[in-house]
Amino acid sequence: MKMLLDGQWVDRDEKIDVIDPFDNSVIDTVPSGNADDCETALKSAVKGFEITKKMTVYDRAQILFKAAAIISERLEEFATIIAREGSKTINEARTEASRCVNTMTASAEESKRILGETIPFDSFPGGEKRRGYYYRFPIGVVLAITPFNDPLNLVAHKIGPAFAAGNAVILKPATVTPLSAIKLVEAMVEAGMPPQAIQVITGYGSKIGDPMVSDERVRMISFTGGVEAGKHIASKAGIKKIGMELGSNSPVIVWKDADLDLAVDSCVSGSFWAAGQNCIGVQRLLVHKDIYNEFKTRFVERTKKYKIGDKMKEDTDMGPMITEGEAIRVEKWVNEAAQKGANVLCGGKRTGSLYEPTVLENLPPDVTIHCEEVFGPTVNLYQIDDLDEAIKEANSLPYGLLAGIFTSNIDVAFKASYDLDCGGVMINDSTDYRLDSMPFGGVKYSGLGREGLKFSLQELTEPKVVCFYLPNI
């Protein structure tokens, strides 16, 4: 596939192979963008913004609705690309493709609700005879940088609201999974998005990141990815807006009165969805001591039934990790925990990029797999005695995206929802739940700002005040 710069689909001699991590076959190539390509994208996006900012809301919404319809018609094609270039099974990929339709549709709908307010200027002395309001205007050129694990829908969460607000976008998709993103951009252009308003530049973040991140023509960086890249980007950005959706180490509390069938099913799925490469995947299960053994037995039994392997087979529950290198990293983290005293209750074996769904307990507090985001198919069990202890443990790490609690006691649910430090608390569900239009984001190292269409639109626009001084009234 090619990249889209200044309205042209272009290739380069230097290319990057896009590899199916299940069998290491090369499924396609993309050009490796360079500094000159960044300059072309930046110049063209500035012109693109001159077009988008003058478009009516109606026209922008119609294009987004049409793009949603195109994706909907070609859902299986999109799902197949997601599954081939990434880690997801074909069923997981279908879910993502359907969610992308929702994201584009809701972007179109929300474009019609970018509202302002009148301002009561006479609410303090000095404001007499002044009347006015504020409205929201688009911010300009938005640089969108996306990760590999949701290669379509997380790109839709950047392009959809950015264009809905009237901005131009330069998209830098994940180096390993650029194809779904390019297909989405093709759909946007087919639907009528002015080509200069959307540039897609493929390549290595380390090579093309800095020239774009530090450029003053970029007015906002909308980044989804890991904390390390996030810190680097923040250090290079200079004075511009930054939105960051980063990683986590998500905790779920299973209280003594939980519905265990529900908790087991939901947490197994939440731990191993997309082979655990999921920013809201369950990593820590804090289980009340009265039900710990029963929960553990059922959880491990259910995990052992997981069918792993070929992503394209309908009955596969879990596919490979994104690269063999990532699977080796997870293997090392599990081995480190086991050597320091953790019990590996099931899993713990690797074949190439496939890593078995793995359940650990008795983790020493200093092991990497307890402290850091694992981003792989492993989950840690901890026994807890009381709610304060569970909440303290849940809040003890420098992340806070989502948290969960299973309980039938409303007081327990309420207390947890207030005391857990994070961007959202799921009651009687694992952390692996996101509605695309809810405010989504985290605290601490999990991010800055919120996405979720209506909320993204606040970040992607600025209020402008208009004040009339009317001395003669």
Q: Is 71 or 244 the residue whose CB approaches ligand NAD more closely?
A: 244
Q: Does 229 bind ligand NAD (CB under 6 A)?
A: yes
Q: Give the one residue of 8, 24, 25, 206 binding ligand NAD; rule: CB under 6 A.
A: 206
x/- binding map, residues 99-118, to ligand NAD, per CB under 6 A?
--------------------
Inter-residue contact 120 to 174 (CB < 8 Å): no
Can you give the length of the chain in residues?
473
Among residues 92, 96, 245, 356, the one annotated as catalytic is 245
Q: Does 292 bind ligand NAD (CB under 6 A)?
A: no
Q: Does 224 bind ligand NAD (CB under 6 A)?
A: yes
Q: Does 401 bind ligand NAD (CB under 6 A)?
A: yes
CB of 175 to ligand NAD, least distance (A): 5
Task: Quickly list H helices, 166-259.
Answer: 179-191, 205-213, 227-236
- φ, ψ for residue 129 (rounded to 5)? 60, 25
Tally: H helices and E strands in the chain:
15, 22
Q: Among this protein's residues, is 245 annotated catalytic?
A: yes
Task: Quickly list H helices, 143-249.
Answer: 153-164, 179-191, 205-213, 227-236
Inter-residue contact 96 to 152 (CB < 8 Å): yes
Inter-residue contact 180 to 171 (CB < 8 Å): no
Tokens of 162: 């950015």
Q: Give the one residue of 146, 153, 383, 395 binding ligand NAD; rule: CB under 6 A.
A: 146
Total Cβ atoms within 10 A of residue 468: 11
Q: Give the one residue of 37, 96, 215, 373 binding ligand NAD; rule: CB under 6 A.
A: 373
Q: Measuring CA to CA, how many Å separate 241 from each of 139, 200, 403?
A: 9, 20, 27
DSSP for 351-389, written as a single string: ETTEE--EEEES--TTSHHHHS---SSEEEEEEESSHHH
CB of 448 to ligand NAD, least distance (A): 10
With CB under 6 A as the rule, give the number of residues binding ligand NAD.
Answer: 28
Tokens of 374: 């694992």
DSSP for 391-443, written as a single string: HHHHTTSS--SEEEEE-S-HHHHHHHHHHS-SSEEEETS-S----TTS-B--S
Q: Is 149 or 271 the residue whose CB approaches ligand NAD more closely?
A: 149
Q: Give the one residue of 130, 232, 256, 444 binding ligand NAD; rule: CB under 6 A.
A: 232
Q: Which stretch binds ligand NAD (CB under 6 A): 70-78, 187-195, 224-232, 404-412?
A: 224-232
Q: Give the one residue of 20, 215, 245, 356 binding ligand NAD; rule: CB under 6 A.
A: 245
Q: Among this protein's residues, is 361 annotated catalytic?
A: no
Q: Which stretch binds ligand NAD (CB under 6 A): 36-44, 242-250, 254-262, 330-338?
A: 242-250
CB of 374 to ligand NAD, least distance (A): 10
**Given the DSSP bridges, would you call strands 117-119 and 130-138 parallel, antiparallel or unpaired?**
antiparallel
CB of 208 to ligand NAD, least distance (A): 7
Q: Does 21 bind ligand NAD (CB under 6 A)?
A: no
Whole-angstrom distance, CA of residue 30 vs CA of residue 461: 32
Q: Which stretch binds ligand NAD (CB under 6 A): 53-61, 202-210, 303-311, 404-412?
A: 202-210
Among residues 279, 422, 451, 459, the one annotated as catalytic is 279
CB of 432 to ligand NAD, least distance (A): 12
Q: Does 194 bind ligand NAD (CB under 6 A)?
A: no
Tell which positions 406-465 bind ligand NAD, by CB under 6 A: 447
Inter-residue contact 121 to 184 (CB < 8 Å): no
Q: Which residue is nearest to ligand NAD (CB)?
A: 209
Whole-angstrom distance, CA of residue 320 vs CA of residue 185: 27
- Could you list the residues that contact ligand NAD (CB under 6 A)? 145-150, 154, 172, 174-175, 205-206, 209, 213, 224-226, 229, 232-233, 245-247, 279, 373, 375, 401, 447
